[in-house]
Amino acid sequence: MKAFVIDKYAKNRALRLADLPQPELQDDEVLVEVHAAGVNLLDAKIRNGEFKRILPYKLPLTLGHDVAGVVVKVGPRVRQFTPGDEVYARVDDFRIGTFAELVPVKETSLALKPRNLTMVEAASIPLVGLTAWQALVERAQLHRGQKVFIQAGSGGVGTFAIQLAKHLGATVATTASAGSAALVKGLGADVVVDYKTQDFEEALHNYDVVLNSQDSKTLEKSLRVLKGGGKLLSISGPPDPAFAKGIAAPAFVKFVIRLLSAGIRRRARARRVDYSFLFMKADGRQLQEITRLMEAKAIRPVIDKVFAFDATNDALNYVQTGHAKGKVVIEVK
């Protein structure tokens, strides 16, 4: 099969198109013929080596976390899926590889594709959808009447999270450029802060939840828009001790992570705010819940560009610019 791989970590290094053998299937896995693959900033960060201490992948490595496609084979312990099923998933860490013609996926990470979405649309959903779900539903337990600030509203996570938060009944604020204001308002944002001309710290007050996806300066300012008892969830770091424990990190890595997050955790406690780092995980059951929302048209996919499979490097570079409005997808088949 054809696949795009990295041979060593290097910033902005092009992926190599390789001919690889068909992946070996474990007993609890499903082999999926890839029709489309979502592209995420996480893919670029892994290529650049930013997660090599946390996720020590064996190289060469096929990149890609999001997939939509058709089941071609199932392992002997698989019960929920059969060949021919149209499915989608965020594949598991250490089994990534959706920038390829075939990818194995754990049964527990897979869900049937929403019937009303194309393969390209479905491939845009899993990573950002699960990130938003795990942040707003699982961690924050966001509910009607609360106020949530979702940064970078026109990005992949932002476009999904705004819709999910609105569905949950929250008042939603976000940051966006003037050119993206209509997009995020159309998705449900109640308050739009133009990050080029306004300071969100001055515009927003007494929020219950902040979903941070930006840099350390923005993280620090986010503390000050929350009310006491509020929750600051960050998908851009720094990782915290709970995350280190969850991935069973070695003692030295746990120590480094504790140091990296010590300052923000201390300042959060001083303001009676709960800080936590979220590194989303694959979860087929949560994806089934998202499927129901997509089929009910409570949430719609937002896609910026679709690239051909042979333009995978162009897609990855485009995502890394940070200019995409919504998701970028590679059409493989």
Q: For 300-333, what is each residue's pLDDT tens digit?
A: 999 999 999 999 999 999 999 988 999 999 999 9
| Domain with 153 in it | 128-277
* CA pair distance 188, 325, nearest whole angstrom: 15
* CA pair distance 291, 181, nearest whole angstrom: 27
Return the closest-CA partner of residue 6 out of 63, 65, 57.
Answer: 63
Structural domain contains residue 295: no
Beta bridge partners of 303: 327
pLDDT tens for 81-104 read: 999 999 999 999 999 999 999 999
Average pLDDT, the chain: 96
- Whichever domain contains 267, its CATH number is 3.40.50.720
- Whichever domain contains 37, its CATH number is 3.90.180.10
| Residue 122 exposure: Cα atoms within 13 Å on the Cβ side | 26
* CA pair distance 176, 326, nearest whole angstrom: 12
State the Cα torsion 32-55-240-232 to the nearest 10°. -40
Number of domains the chain contains: 2
pLDDT tens for 217-269 read: 999 999 999 999 999 999 998 999 998 888 888 888 889 889 989 999 999 99
Mean pLDDT confidence for 7-33 = 96
208 and 261 co-located in one domain: yes
Confidence at residue 194, expressed as pLDDT on a 0 to 100 scale? 97
Name the pTM for this structure. 0.96
What are the strands of the beta sheet with 2-6, ordered from one edge?
A: 16-19, 2-6, 61-62
